[in-house]
Amino acid sequence: MRRLLPAALAAALVASGCNASFSTGEIKIDQKKAEDLARQIGAVRGPVTSVSCPSGLKAKRGADFDCNLAYADGTKATITIHQVDDKGRIRTSASDVH
């Protein structure tokens, strides 16, 4: 198991998280994909019981946003998600959990 962990983190986990709004033409971050990514990376510290990311965020290269994590042992943390481009791609890593 220890050998799989660095490989998963080394992938830098870039997710395509876009959701085009047809009425405005804006691209927004896909909240569900952001939460799935946060849960996956947050699980490095232990079993995650809940994740909450903001909804309705406009995709903007270089912008960051935080998601809240709750763990099975009752502790809470925040994970910072980084926006890779204006198309809704996002990334994070275990070092972004605080």
pLDDT score at 16: 54
Q: What value does the mean pLDDT of the chain take?
A: 85
Strand, coil or helix: 86: coil
Contacts of 57 (CB under 8 A, 6+ apart): 28, 29, 31, 63, 65
- Condensed to tens digits (0 to 9), the pLDDT of residues 43-87 reads 999 999 999 999 999 999 999 999 999 999 999 999 999 999 999
pTM of the model: 0.79
